[in-house]
Amino acid sequence: METMRLYLRVMKLSILQQVTYRTALLAGLATNFFFGLLRAAVLLALFQVQPVVNGMTQAEGLTFVAFSQALIAFLFIFGTYDVMNTVYTGSIGADLARPMDLFFYWMARDFGASLVNLVIRGVVLVAVFSVFYPVVMPATIGQWGVGLVSLLLGWGVNYAFRFLVNLTAFWTPDARGIGRAAYTMLMMFSGFLMPMRLYPDWFSRLVALTPFPSTFNTPMEIFMGLLKGPEVIPALITQVGWLVALWLLARVVLRRGLSKLVIQGG
Amino acid sequence: MTAIISVRDLRKTFRVLVRRPGLGGSIANLFAPHYRSVQAVEGVSFSLQAGELVGYLGPNGAGKSTTIKVLTGLLVPTGGEVRVDGQVPWEKRERYVKGIGVVFGNRPTLWWDLPVIDSLELLQPMYDIPAERFRYNLVEFKRMLELDEFINTPVRSLSLGQRMRADLCAALLHEPKLLFLDEPTIGLDVVAKEQIRRFVLDINHRRGVTVLLTTHDLTDVERLCERVMILDHGKLLYDGTLAALNGRFESAWTLKVDFEEEYPDVSVAGLPAPQRVGRQALYLFNHRELNTAELVQQLMARFQVVDLEVRRPPLEETIRRIYAEQLLTK
């Protein structure tokens, strides 16, 4: 009970902290919006050649662009390096001297920041975008609900993946390089750059075997109604499966890492 | 009485990658890394009784921080036995750190962009502190450390001294039995240092908190610690009272004398010739061989003396000699 209260409080502090970065939030919003316009222009060119691509219409393509740009900051698509930085600066020592679990502590911190990003960068971006383009919103409350559940599951899978990437700092002095490679994979295989449906069939089948589509592609397809009715169930089960697997893995790796950790400096 | 901290034959060896120079070297490092062992701590043993306030001294790289990291559960040692309050620090870390307080002088532990009070209030659910107890402690520490003037200021805007006071408060709100201070006064001005020292003395005396303190500031040690442990090259060189350390290793004392008139010869048998400036003379003497009273009596019998002052060398000087001349390893 107290543990829950602790991590909720951490989340609250993270929200407070995130809103103090007003300028950064607005600059981020502007950047996401600008690149959204650019991506929309590319997609419009594509759809002029062919009105329906792999079952996606032009409006759906534009909706995809709007939502993906809106969720960049919520899902930290470009990755995070916070935990590895605490390893390299040695400030992880101060965190470990506190009775808390690093995995849940950083989860609460990240989630607080994500919520602020979702509201300020996400909602505003979709709203403005839909003034310029025909963005298709989920039609029913049910679709919204399932979409949100899927988005939360996706966030969890994505968090565990980022946490694992950060943990490599326990073993190598150059975890940043690993991070850049890993986050490039995340960007490509999660369906953020392009919906998985637009990739060649063999490629999307291959990528479907990885956890990446569960972070982003699955909630997007549910929001856009590309996955409907009974199709949603296996998609959600896959997400839960990856969530459990990556969480367990992250916890095992964290324990192994801490047992051999060398706190730098001092 | 049983020891609250007992350390037996503590050892910690680090593996350090030896980097070879040049491009060829980098490639060789990648495929066949070459490691060198560095012994940070080699067989250190000591114990602390509850309520002690002990200074842990040593030059940079002596192994002080490594010891503190082992004692705070951050590092698993290579060998040896450690029991702190009946627990092994690195096993069940989360449970263990609930009972200790830690301040790292050079590392902020508070949320950088938020007001101090936010970070402090986070500690209540973290340590499961009963709400009433928490309020009571917060009020008391706010008063003792004068936190009110900046408690609503974001941590990043605090001065170093203010941040250290906030860090101390954050290390003690959960009423730990044990406090580890790793260079708590580093980089602070004299006033701020003094405030920190008074606070540490107070919680040691009034709350009975056992304190282990590393520092390079020997005034900290003189003001706070009866007992000191001196570490060098991973080995414990000295463990005992500060008074005994001074008794054994202090270099010559100085007696400053002002005479009534300028005598032609004021030298004392058995002592080197004094330095003289006008009517003043400075005698260097070994306090272990000649006690001050005898020397003064001799001088008073022979001359008209106006003023006398005995000066002891500062602790810095004693410690410097211990390191430089390796007095303790002989």
ipTM for the predicted complex:
0.87
- Do B228 and B262 reside in the same domain of the chain? no
Whether B166 has a pLDDT exceeding 50, the answer reads yes
Q: Is A121 exposed, middle or buried (0-12, 13-18, 19+ CB in 10 A)?
A: buried
| pLDDT for the residue A265 | 46
**What does DSSP say about strands B305-311 and B253-259: parallel, antiparallel, or unpaired?**
antiparallel
**Is B79 inside any structural domain?**
yes
Which residues of chain A neighbour B126 with C-beta distances below 8 Å?
6, 98-100
Give the model's pLDDT for residue B328: 65
Is residue B179 domain-shared with residue B276, that is, in the same domain? no
**Chain A nearest-CA residue for B65:** A266
Q: How much of chain B, in percent, has pLDDT values that exceed 90?
A: 56
Helix runs in chain A, H state only: 2-20, 22-49, 58-75, 82-89, 92-96, 102-117, 124-132, 141-167, 175-189, 201-207, 212-215, 217-223, 232-259
Asked if residue B81 is part of any domain, the answer here is yes
**Same domain assignment for residues B272 and B233:** no
Contacts of B319 (CB under 8 A, 6+ apart): B57, B218, B230
What B136-143 contacts at long range (C-beta under 8 Å, 24+ apart), as own/partner pairs, is B137/B172, B137/B173, B137/B175, B138/B169, B138/B173, B141/B168, B141/B169, B141/B172, B141/B173, B142/B169
Mean model confidence pLDDT for chain B: 90
pLDDT (0 to 100) of residue A263? 59
Residue B103's alpha-carbon distances to A199, A202, B167, B196, in angstroms, are 54, 56, 7, 12
* Residues B97, A9: C-beta atoms closer than 8 Å: no
Residue B254, SS3 per DSSP? strand
Judgement on whether residues B68 and B152 belong to the same structural domain of the protein: yes
Q: How many domains does chain B have?
A: 2
Least confident of A5-9, A49-53, A181-185, A230-234: A49-53
Same domain, yes or no, for B217 and B266?
Answer: no
Decide if B64 contacts B56 (C-beta within 8 A): yes
Helix (H, G, I), strand (E, B) or coil at B4: strand
Average pLDDT of span A44-65: 86
pLDDT at residue B1, rounded to an integer: 59
Distance from CA of A240 to the nearest CA of B (A): 28
Listed by start position, the domains of chain A span: 2-259
What pLDDT score does B5 carry? Answer: 96
Q: Could you tell me if B148 lies within 8 Å of chain A, comparing CB atoms?
A: no
Round to whole Å and give the CA distance between B73 and B89: 4
> Which of A12-21, A46-55, A112-121, B273-282 is the least confident region?
A46-55
CA distance B103 to B169: 10
- Quote the domain boundaries for residue B268: 252-312
- Residue B197 maps to a domain: yes
Q: Which of A145, A148, A139, A141 is nearest to A118 (CA)?
A: A148
Do B224 and B258 belong to one domain? no
Residues of A with Cβ-Cβ distance to B95 under 8 angstroms: 99
Q: Pick from A6, A13, A93: which is nearest to B114 by CB?
A: A13
Residue B25 domain-assigned? Answer: no
The answer to whether the Cβ–Cβ distance between B94 and A20 falls below 8 Å is no
A266–B128 CB contact, under 8 Å:
no
Q: What is the mean pLDDT of residues A24-40?
A: 92
Is B21 a domain residue? no
Instruction: Give rounded-to-5 percent helix, strand, coil for chain B.
Output: 35, 30, 35
**In this structure, is residue B141 part of a structural domain?**
yes
pLDDT of A249 reads: 98
Cα-based distances in Å from A133 to A41, A68, A128, B135: 11, 14, 9, 55
Asked if residues B72 and B5 have their Cβ atoms less than 8 Å apart, the reply is: no
Closest alpha carbon within chain A to B106: A266
Q: Tell whether pTM > 0.80.
A: yes
User: Is B138 in the same domain as B228?
Assistant: yes
In the β-sheet with B280-285, what is the strand arrangement from edge to edge? B275-277, B280-285, B253-259, B305-311
Q: Kindly state whether residues B153 and B239 are assigned to the same domain.
A: yes
Closest CA to B188 of B155, B217, B213, B214: B217
Cα–chain-centroid distance for residue B210?
14
Give the pairing of strands B3-18 and B79-84: antiparallel
**Residue B100, strand partner residues:** B178
Total Cβ atoms within 10 A of residue B152:
10
Res. A266: pLDDT tops 50: no
Shared domain check, B240 and B117: yes
Does the distance separating the beta carbons of A97 and B97 come in below 8 Å? yes
Nearest CA in chain A to B68: A266
Structure tokens at A248: 């367990």
Residues of chain B found within 8 Å of residue A98, distances taken between Cβ atoms: 97, 109, 126
Same domain, B52 and B115: yes
pLDDT band at A3 (very low <50, low <70, confident <90, very high): confident
Task: Report the gap between the CA of A73 and the closest CA in chain B (Å).
Answer: 20
Which of A36, A61, A35 lies closest to A48 in space, CA to CA?
A: A61
Round to whole Å and give the CA distance between A137 and A134. Answer: 9
B263, B280: one domain: yes
What mean pLDDT comes out for the span A178-198? 91
Percent residues over pLDDT 90 in chain A? 69
B36 in a structural domain: no
- Check whether residue B176 and residue B280 sit in a common domain: no
Angle subtended by helix axes A58-75 and A102-117, to nearest 10: 130
**Which of B100, B104, B114 is the closest to A93 by Cβ?**
B104
- Asked which of B206, B223, B247 is the last residue of a domain, the reply is B247
Neighboring chain B residues of A22 at a CB cutoff of 8 Å: none
Inter-chain contacts counted by CB atoms under 8 A, chains A and B: 77
| pLDDT band (50, 70, 90) for residue A47 | confident
pLDDT, tens digit (0-9, with 9 covering 90-100), for B286-322:
888 888 888 999 898 899 999 999 888 877 778 878 8
Instruction: With H, G, I as helix, E, B as strand and everything else as coil, classify residue A52.
Output: strand
CA distance, residue B218 to nearest chain A CA (Å): 19
Mean pLDDT within B162-170: 95
Contact criterion met (CB below 8 Å) for B282 and B274: yes
Distance from CA of B130 to the nearest CA of A (A): 11
Domain end marker among B201, B226, B247: B247
Q: Does residue B323 lie within any of the structural domains?
A: no
Chain segment B210-265, per-residue pLDDT in tens:
999 998 888 899 899 999 999 988 999 889 998 888 878 777 888 999 998 888 88
**Encoded tokens for A259:** 């047992």
| Mean of per-residue pLDDT scores for chain A | 91
Separation of alpha carbons A34 and A265, rounded Å: 42
- Nearest residue on chain B to A260, judged by CA atoms? B76
